[in-house]
């Protein structure tokens, strides 16, 4: 049996050690991958650097980066040819091949399909050039340039055929009509905010990304009976990929009433002269302008300075026992400027701050708003606090989900400027000789004197309305999910709605200044109402192009439920006008309490087909079947079809030049 010579063992050990080291070194070298550095700057067509642009490996979307604030990026990749996809919201994506150390300076082209030429039209989007119905997109730059706290009033003049009538009262929704009055009933259009029926008056223009107006049956028929007066589709702003962006927008302004004699009112001498011509037997102006006028338990009439009937010691005001009143007021011989007594310059402040950002897989936007709009009429205002939050996620290339949430709180006392005996009507009916205040500093009015009419001092009505309250809470939003499958199909589901809560109080003092209301006891009313609207929408979309043909099919269902309750009460003769004591139990007479409730549902099936041949000839057909619970079983369902066609003559060969 052989033996190993001791003299040869160290040599073998050295050999095996060297072999092991070579093996480890070779394995380490084989495990190393050569890296290359890709840098560059991404700009738009005008040369402006773009931030937040996504640069991703096409076959492995987990590898990539975003451009910084100056459009610069740096990306390290394994050596060898690699396909990159450059993409950003609102721009056409582009693919490039990089190899070795490369500098990429790309220019991104605006994607017209995602910007000005893509409109939201009935549960989907369409190229503007392919729309055969009457649809108009509002210029958002012009809309936001109007310093108004509510988007409905800012909409005036922004779209042909859309009329906005604003009452001028802070917080009151404008009357919107599309192509005039179209019904003996309501002519209000359907307003959808992110797919949910909502009130345009509650949202500021700063929170809106786009506004589309569907004006004719061809465009609005997919909304069925609800779209009979036209449809306004609002899309709120969303977060975009990129580093967090903080923005602030605000303004301060003053609304100023008209100067001069805004209502063309006569002065006191001219009014007296004209009055005597019309009524020759007048008591008020039988001997020209008197110094004083009076009314009460001791009679009613006129007097000159020093007459016993207008002796200040006789003055008495007892609202609790109006039969004891004896009011004296000094005639305003130049004429009371009722307009400028009621209307004053009003300050408006609007503040809006937002934070947004995200990646190519998720995005977010949070905005806070505060509006303080004082009305030019005394004791009128709107204070609105709002929060908007939306997030979107893209767990995979074919799956998207997100939510939209909008909350608002409004402090907005009620004011009626339309009634026959409301403040505005009283304003132009008050005689110029009546002073704002009587000889004791209480409100002047029609009670203290003959032939003064029967209307109320409008300044008194407003200055005594400080106990009026109206508080409104609104929540609007939805959650949605979308899935792309089989290359050309997209299914989407959305569930959302609105919740509204309103509480209001009004307290009317005994109107001792008013000939009709001087003997009426004070009155108090309060009420609360709750309404909710839920909507569940499901759609399936097929979109494909083959050869010279382009086709898009949309089908879906929608279930809507409306529910509401309200309760209100009132009473007369409260023992105190202090706000802390304004409760129904403190009314001494005529205590009333009423309540109502309602509920209705609507279920619909709808579909639309859009076809384009050779990018010249366009056909569109829409149908919707609505079923409403408010109708009898034999009239519950209605079908609303529409058909339209278009010819893009600019693409014909004879129009080339």
For the chain, percent of residues with pLDDT exceeding 90: 49
Q: Compute the average pLDDT of residues 63-70.
A: 79
User: What pLDDT was estimated at residue 468?
Assistant: 94
Whether the pLDDT of residue 407 is over 90: the answer is yes
Helix (H, G, I), strand (E, B) or coil at 463: helix
Q: Are 435 and 331 in contact (CB under 8 A)?
A: yes
Whether the pLDDT of residue 573 is over 60: the answer is yes
Neighbours of 406 (CB within 10 A): 23
Closest CA relative to residue 123, chosen from 523, 482, 514, 580: 482
Closest CA relative to residue 428, chosen from 341, 370, 351: 341
Q: Compute the average pLDDT of residues 162-188.
A: 82
CB neighbour list of residue 118: distance below 8 Å, 6 or more residues apart: 112, 125, 126, 127, 128
Distance in angstroms (rounded) separating the CA atoms of residues 459 and 465: 10
For the stretch 575-620, pLDDT in tens is 999 999 999 999 999 999 999 999 999 999 999 999 989 888 999 9
Closest CA relative to residue 406, chosen from 480, 500, 471: 500
Can you read off the two tokens belonging to residue 222?
Answer: 């997919």
Q: Are 607 and 623 in contact (CB under 8 A)?
A: yes
For 79-132, list the strands marked E by DSSP: 82-87, 94-98, 102-107, 118-120, 125-127
Distance in angstroms (rounded) separating the CA atoms of residues 597 and 125: 38
Whether the pLDDT of residue 198 is over 60: the answer is yes
For the stretch 326-381, pLDDT in tens is 999 999 999 999 999 999 999 999 999 999 999 888 999 999 999 999 999 999 99
Q: Compute the average pLDDT of residues 30-36.
A: 59
Higher pLDDT pick, 542 / 219: 542
Closest CA relative to residue 119, chosen from 129, 110, 111: 129
Exposure letters 119-130 (e unless 16+ CB within 10 A, then b): bbbbbbbbebeb
User: What pLDDT was estimated at residue 33?
Assistant: 52
Q: Compute the average pLDDT of residues 151-179.
A: 81
pLDDT band at 60 (very low <50, low <70, confident <90, very high): low
Least confident of 412-421, 498-507, 579-588: 412-421
For the stretch 546-558, pLDDT in tens is 888 999 999 999 9
Phi/psi at 329 (5° precision): -135, 145
Higher pLDDT pick, 96 / 348: 348
User: What pLDDT was estimated at residue 61?
Assistant: 53
User: What pLDDT was estimated at residue 2?
Assistant: 40
- Count how many residues are written for the chain: 657
* Highest-confidence segment of 76-90, 495-509, 633-647: 495-509
For the chain, percent of residues with pLDDT exceeding 70: 92
Closest CA relative to residue 229, chosen from 242, 213, 245: 213
Distance in angstroms (rounded) separating the CA atoms of residues 342 and 234: 37
Least confident of 60-64, 221-225, 300-304, 445-449: 60-64
For the stretch 419-471, pLDDT in tens is 777 888 889 889 999 999 999 999 999 998 899 988 899 999 999 999 999 99
Least confident of 54-58, 312-316, 369-373: 54-58
Q: Is 552 exposed, middle or buried (0-12, 13-18, 19+ CB in 10 A)?
A: buried
User: What pLDDT was estimated at residue 20?
Assistant: 45
Higher pLDDT pick, 134 / 380: 380
Report the chain's mean pLDDT, rounded to a whole number.
86
Among all chains, which residue has been given the structure tokens 């304003």? 427
Distance in angstroms (rounded) separating the CA atoms of residues 651 and 74: 43
pLDDT band at 217 (very low <50, low <70, confident <90, very high): confident
Going edge to edge, which strands form the sheet with 299-303?
299-303, 292-296, 326-330
Neighbours of 402 (CB within 10 A): 20
pLDDT band at 532 (very low <50, low <70, confident <90, very high): very high
User: What pLDDT was estimated at residue 611?
Assistant: 93
Whether the pLDDT of residue 62 is over 60: the answer is no
The radius of gyration computed from the CA coordinates of the chain, to the nearest angstrom, equals 37
Can you read off the two tokens belonging to residue 290?
Answer: 């008197």
Helix (H, G, I), strand (E, B) or coil at 272: helix
Measure Cα distances from 482 to 364, 513, 556 in Å. 17, 65, 14
User: What pLDDT was estimated at residue 524?
Assistant: 96
For the stretch 3-32, pLDDT in tens is 333 334 444 445 444 444 444 344 444 444
Least confident of 165-174, 272-281, 561-570: 165-174
For the stretch 224-268, pLDDT in tens is 888 888 888 888 888 888 889 999 999 999 999 999 998 889 999
Among all chains, which residue has been given the structure tokens 């005036």? 156
Q: Compute the average pLDDT of residues 290-306.
A: 91
Neighbours of 146 (CB within 10 A): 14
CB neighbour list of residue 438: distance below 8 Å, 6 or more residues apart: 315, 327, 328, 329, 330, 444, 448
Give the global pTM: 0.77
Q: Compute the average pLDDT of residues 68-88.
A: 83
Distance in angstroms (rounded) separating the CA atoms of residues 477 and 136: 25
User: What pLDDT was estimated at residue 155?
Assistant: 80
User: What pLDDT was estimated at residue 416?
Assistant: 80
Can you read off the two tokens belonging to residue 14?
Answer: 């050295």
pLDDT band at 101 (very low <50, low <70, confident <90, very high): low
Distance in angstroms (rounded) separating the CA atoms of residues 210 and 233: 8
Question: Within its chain, how far is the Cα of 50 from the centroid?
Answer: 30
Distance in angstroms (rounded) separating the CA atoms of residues 510 and 317: 11
Distance in angstroms (rounded) separating the CA atoms of residues 281 and 286: 7
Q: Are 535 and 496 in contact (CB under 8 A)?
A: yes
């Amino acid at each position: 049996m052989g033996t190993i010579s001791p003299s040869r063992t160290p040599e073998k050990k050295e050999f095996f050690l060297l072999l092991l080291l070579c093996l480890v070194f070779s394995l380490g070298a084989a495990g190393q991958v050569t890296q290359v550095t890709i840098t560059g700057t991404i700009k738009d067509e005008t040369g402006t650097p773009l931030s937040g642009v996504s640069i991703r490996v096409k076959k492995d979307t987990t590898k990539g980066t975003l451009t910084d604030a100056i459009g610069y990026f740096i990306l390290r990749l394994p050596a060898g040819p690699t396909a990159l996809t450059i993409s950003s919201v609102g721009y056409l994506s582009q693919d490039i091949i990089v190899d070795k150390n490369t500098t990429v300076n790309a220019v991104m082209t605006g994607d017209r399909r995602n910007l000005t030429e893509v409109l939201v039209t009935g549960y989907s989007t369409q190229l503007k050039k392919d729309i055969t119905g009457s649809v108009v997109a509002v210029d958002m730059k012009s809309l936001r340039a109007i310093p108004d706290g509510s988007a409905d009033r800012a909409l005036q003049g922004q779209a042909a055929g859309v009329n906005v009538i604003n009452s001028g009262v802070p917080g009151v929704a404008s009357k919107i009509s599309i192509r005039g009055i179209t019904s003996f009933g309501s002519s209000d259009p359907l307003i959808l905010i992110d797919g949910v029926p909502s009130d345009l008056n509650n949202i500021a223009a700063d929170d809106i990304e786009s506004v589309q107006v569907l004006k004719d049956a061809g465009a609005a028929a997919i909304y069925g009976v609800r779209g009979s007066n036209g449809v306004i589709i609002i899309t709120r702003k969303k977060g975009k990929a990129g580093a967090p962006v903080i923005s602030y927008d605000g303004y301060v302004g003053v609304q100023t009433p008209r100067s001069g004699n805004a209502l063309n009112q006569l002065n006191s001498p001219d009014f007296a002269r004209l009055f005597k011509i019309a009524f020759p037997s007048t008591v008020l102006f039988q001997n020209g302008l008197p110094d004083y006028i009076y009314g009460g338990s001791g009679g009613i009439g006129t007097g000159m300075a020093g007459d016993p009937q207008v002796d200040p010691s006789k003055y008495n005001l007892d609202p609790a026992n109006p039969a004891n009143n004896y009011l004296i007021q000094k005639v305003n011989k130049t004429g009371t400027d009722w307009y400028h007594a009621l209307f004053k310059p009003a300050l408006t402040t609007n503040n809006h701050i937002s934070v947004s950002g995200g990646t190519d897989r998720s995005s977010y936007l949070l905005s806070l708003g505060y509006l303080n709009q004082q009305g030019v009429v005394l004791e009128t205002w709107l204070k609105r606090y709002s929060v908007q939050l939306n997030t979107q996620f893209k767990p995979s290339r074919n799956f998207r989900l997100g939510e939209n949430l909008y909350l608002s709180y409004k402090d907005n006392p009620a004011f009626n400027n339309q009634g026959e005996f409301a403040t505005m009507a009283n304003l132009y009916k008050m005689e110029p000789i009546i002073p704002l205040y009587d000889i004791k500093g209480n409100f002047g009015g029609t009670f203290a004197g003959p032939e003064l009419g029967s209307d109320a001092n409008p300044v008194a009505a407003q200055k005594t309305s400080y106990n009026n309250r109206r508080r409104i809470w609104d929540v609007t939003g939805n959650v949605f999910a979308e899935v792309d499958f089989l290359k050309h199909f997209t299914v989407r589901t959305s569930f959302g709605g609105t919740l509204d809560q309103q509480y209001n109080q009004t307290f009317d003092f005994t109107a001792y200044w008013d000939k009709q209301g001087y003997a009426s006891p004070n009155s108090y009313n309060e009420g609360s109402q709750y309404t909710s609207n839920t909507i569940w929408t499901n759609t399936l979309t097929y979109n494909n192009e083959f050869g010279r043909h382009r086709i898009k099919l949309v089908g879906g269902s929608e279930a809507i439920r409306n529910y509401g309750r309200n309760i209100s009460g009132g009473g007369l003769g409260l023992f105190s006008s202090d706000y802390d004591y304004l409760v129904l139990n403190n009314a001494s007479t005529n205590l009333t309490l009423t309540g109502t409730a309602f509920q209705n549902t609507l279920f619909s099936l709808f579909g639309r087909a859009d076809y384009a041949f050779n990018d010249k000839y366009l056909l569109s057909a829409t149908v919707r079947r609505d079923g409403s619970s408010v109708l009898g079983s034999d009239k519950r369902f209605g079908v609303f079809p529409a058909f339209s066609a278009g010819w893009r003559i600019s693409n014909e060969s004879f129009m080339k030049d």
